[in-house]
A and B are shown apart, each in its own frame.
Chain A
Amino acid sequence: MTTVSALAVDAALLPDLGGDAGGFVGSVHSVFTSVVNVSAADDQLWSLAARRVPAGPRTVRLAVDAMDDLGLDPGTPVRARGSLLFAGDVVVDLAEAAPWQPAAIPGPVRPDRLAAVDAALAEFGLAGGARPGADPFSRAVAARIADSLDLIADAVARDDAVALRAAASALIGLGTGLTPAGDDVLTGLAFTAAQLGGPLAAITAAVAAVAVPGTTHAVSLTALHQACAGRAVQPLVDVLAAVCGQGDAGRLPETVAALVAIGHTSGTDLAYGLLAAAHLSQSLQTPTK
């Protein structure tokens, strides 16, 4: 048996893990270098993650450097009892874990900050997802993402829920990599829409409607569902907070770079979604002649 301490846990996940009576029962879904996903009966995943993984929804960060050498494999039973999680030969102690509970981000978007984040993403963003790469598949994906974001903006402006849903459904499950680029863009978009609200609420509703089993896999679906509830990984939260005027403007490049560092192009694609929603919010705030 190996006992490891949890450093932090999503406060909203704790009720799902349960207490002494009727605690969580599930199994390992997938194993990566830094993350082990756990599935429950409702197909929603939650994660055990190494210390360097940023805090986020449904995540328990552990005091370990890597997850793929803990002897956990897909199918390994996982259960919870009291403040302990049992996964194979690993026992996770949640007793000292700090609860992660990000504050809501008050809008509106600040144009100067938005321009600065645009510039930082242009500098640090990576090609291969929303930004076209060299191969034909990647170019087709990037073109469809660009077209769909235009259609989403147009549908929101016209208050056309049907067109909005069609445009969102063209993105889900689209692209290379583990979490397809289209899913990451939608996650950034839905999270920002949920936080800023107003006319963007229609985006959240559309994404929630199209993010259903069969369109993409469980890892993406979990992130999408959380985004629709206004919840996302801490670097995405930080960038949106910066766009809305919080924090030191001088640290914007580092904040964007921390987001871009997620996955291969996932961070860049999350940022694209966030910026698309933020620009839309800004344009809807601006009176026109």
Chain B
Amino acid sequence: MPTRTLIKNNTYVDSVSLMSISTKAAALDGVVNAVAAMATPMNKEILTNQGLITAEIEASTPGDLVLIVVTDGDEAGADAALEGLIGLLDRKPTGSDTEVTYRTVRAAAAGRPDANVAVISVNGAFAAGEAHHALDAGLNVMLFSDNVPLADEIALKQKAHEAGLLMMGPDCGTAIINGVSLCFANKVRRGRIGIVAASGTGAQEMSVRIHDFTGGVSQLLGTGGRDLSAEVGAIMMLDGIDALDSDPGTDVIVVVSKPPASEVAEKVLDRLAASAKPSVVCFLGAGPEVAEAAKTRGIAFFDRTKPAALAAVVASGVDESTLDLHALNWPLIEEVRAKLTPEQKYIRALFCGGTLCDESMFLALEKYDDVYSNISKDPAKRLRGTDPSRGHTFLDFGEDEFTNGKPHPMIDPSNRIERFRTEAADPEVGVIVMDIVLGYGSNPDPVGVMLPAITEAKANAAAAGRHLEILAYVLGTESDFQGFDEQVAKLTGAGVTWASSSTNTGLLAREFVYKGENA
């Protein structure tokens, strides 16, 4: 593979900056590996073992900084990657006269008395303290950090509740407040449907489906994934529903979550039933007892995102008969089944979004028993992220085991690309499933960074005489800055099948590999 090396003599750059440079270099076009290390004898030995040593590196000393980019394109691409690397190294922090850096939340609150929301993303051990400072300063809080102790979460949410403030999170990745997107969110139409979500990509999927069905979003409030646990008791979910109930811009209330604790589900359903506004509940993977509890209260209940979004849009006044409902494409399913050999029987799903992974997994579980995942609630079906795949395997690359010390896979896809190559070489794989998440905060070209691996895998499978089916779901809108149509065009140009929603992704995947009598 074309490789380029840059050596900076007697150069000391702090580790945090080096990590940032290394991560950004790995995301450059065509770069499959990037190294930033001091030229010590031990590092030279590792580089020798990995075939990356050069005479120039051999001649360098421990005070010299070595930067390497390994690419999978041609020599010109490697030169371009080197130029990009030099640019990263030379880049200085940018600022302007209107930008002010505050070193504490308290200082920021004092310096910006007109601000009413603090977005906090620091190490989980310190996050609660910063969130307390923000609440004490009268700010609503969006707490992006995870690894915050449960007791701290409860204390923060109780404090916010008593102060009439929103405490979104911890581990809250998505919100849209008065049309302003925070962290990971898509550019969706403004409208009259309010969402409270205990799952980040679940919230993104709901907002995007509502947009696709010509509806619009008034507010999208995140709660963090543990809010509907028995311990937290949906403090933020209930406050969020209260906020939407009293919001004159909201006509319909939508609630999205993974399965809540049953007694908490009852509280949420009771609160929705007390509102005069119509509501839609989407609890992925919830059992029939929760569905029944919703039904007895007259609340529309769904365990899939797409029909829930449709119900919300219809409740907001859209005529269903005018919509393209994206029915499941059975001719396509038959076509793919015909291409697969009897041995190609497994789904291997590699997701960035936890809720997207969950929805596809739950749909597979309706049809298969041998479903394994790093987010499975069943210990017997749980895999670690580094374990080899078993049966139908669903991996969430946004889990801590993958993100510890690395950016989220929606920004840095390197973990998923590596796993993709492994799965693509497995002759028992019938379909590889991936989500491509667009929107604020995500990779600027999420399909582009996957394309070299996709092209290579397709070519290898063809050389081995088998069809490699790749199914991708692009979560986004035509207004997202990455360009929805361009991203889809890149996928289809590479022979990838494109799904129109999270729900359809799960349904297509499980049907592609079905080998039953009616297949």
Residues on A lying within 8 angstroms of B by beta carbon are 29-30, 32-33, 37, 65, 74, 123-128, 131, 133-137, 140-141, 144, 170-180, 182, 214-219, 253-254, 256-258, 260-261, 263-266
Contacts and interface: CB of A to CB of B under 8 A. Distances in A.
B149 A253 contact: yes
B40 A257 contact: no
A179 B13 CA distance: 10
B22 A30 contact: no
A136 B33 contact: yes
A142 to B, nearest CB: 11
Contacts of B26: 135
Given A177-B18, A217-B40, A136 B50 contact: yes
Given A124-B123, A133-B405, A173 B414 contact: no
Given A135-B35, A135-B414, A217 B63 contact: yes
Contacts of A124: 123-125, 147
Contacts of B147: 123-124
Contacts of A266: 15
Interface in B112-128: 123-126
Nearest to B65: A178
B37 A127 contact: no
B493 interface: no
Closest 8 CB pairs of A and B: A173-B40, A257-B125, A127-B405, A177-B15, A174-B42, A126-B405, A264-B15, A30-B12
A218 B41 CA distance: 14
Interface in B395-433: 402, 404-406, 414-415, 418
A217 B62 contact: yes
23 contacts: A30-B12, A32-B12, A32-B14, A124-B123, A124-B124, A126-B405, A127-B405, A128-B19, A135-B414, A137-B47, A140-B46, A140-B49, A171-B42, A174-B43, A175-B42, A176-B15, A177-B37, A178-B12, A218-B63, A260-B123, A263-B14, A264-B18, A265-B15
A176 B36 contact: yes
Given A140-B46, A265-B19, 17 more contacts: A123-B124, A123-B147, A127-B406, A131-B405, A135-B26, A135-B35, A141-B46, A172-B42, A173-B40, A177-B38, A178-B14, A219-B12, A260-B123, A261-B125, A263-B14, A263-B15, A264-B19
A131 B125 CA distance: 19
A189 B35 CA distance: 26
Given A124-B125, A126-B404, A127-B406, A174 B40 contact: yes
B91 interface: no
Contacts of A214: 41, 61-62
Given A173-B42, A174-B42, A180-B37, A216 B406 contact: no
Q: Is the interface of A mostly helix, strand, loop or mixed?
A: loop
A10 B414 CA distance: 43
A257 B63 contact: no
Contacts of A179: 15
A187 B36 CA distance: 21
Contacts of A123: 124, 147
B195 to A, nearest CB: 31
A214 to B, nearest CB: 7
Interface string B374-414: 00000000000000000000000000001011100000001
A38 to B, nearest CB: 13
Interface string B1-29: 00000000010111110110010001000
Contacts of A175: 37, 42-43
Interface in B21-77: 22, 26, 33-38, 40-43, 46-47, 49-50, 61-63
A37 B415 CA distance: 36
Contacts of A215: 40-42, 62
B103 interface: yes
A173 B43 contact: yes
B388 to A, nearest CB: 16
Given A131-B404, A134-B406, A264 B16 contact: yes
Contact of B62 (A173, A253, A261): A173
Contact of B37 (A137, A260, A261): A137
Contacts of B10: 74
Nearest to B400: A123
A61 B57 CA distance: 36
B12 A180 contact: no
A253 B151 CA distance: 13
Contacts of A258: 125
A261 B127 CA distance: 13
A177 B36 contact: yes
Contact of A216 (B16, B40, B126): B40
A74 to B, nearest CB: 8
B38 A173 contact: yes
A134 B36 contact: no
Contact of B16 (A30, A135, A263): A263
A176 B36 CA distance: 6
Contacts of A29: 12
B405 A265 contact: yes
Interface in B469-492: none
Contacts of B62: 173, 214-217
Contacts of B406: 127-128, 133-134
Given A263-B16, A264-B18, A137 B35 contact: yes
Contacts of B418: 134
Nearest to B122: A261
A244 B409 CA distance: 39
Given A177-B37, A253-B149, A182 B42 contact: yes
A216 B43 CA distance: 10
Contacts of B18: 176-178, 264
A85 to B, nearest CB: 21
Nearest to B19: A264
B43 A135 contact: no
Interface string B101-116: 0010000000000000
Contacts of A131: 404-405
A73 to B, nearest CB: 12
Contacts of A127: 404-406
Contacts of B13: 178
Which of B19, B124, B414 has its CB near the most chain A CB atoms (within 10 A)? Answer: B19
A214 B33 CA distance: 27
Contact of B33 (A74, A135, A254, A260): A135
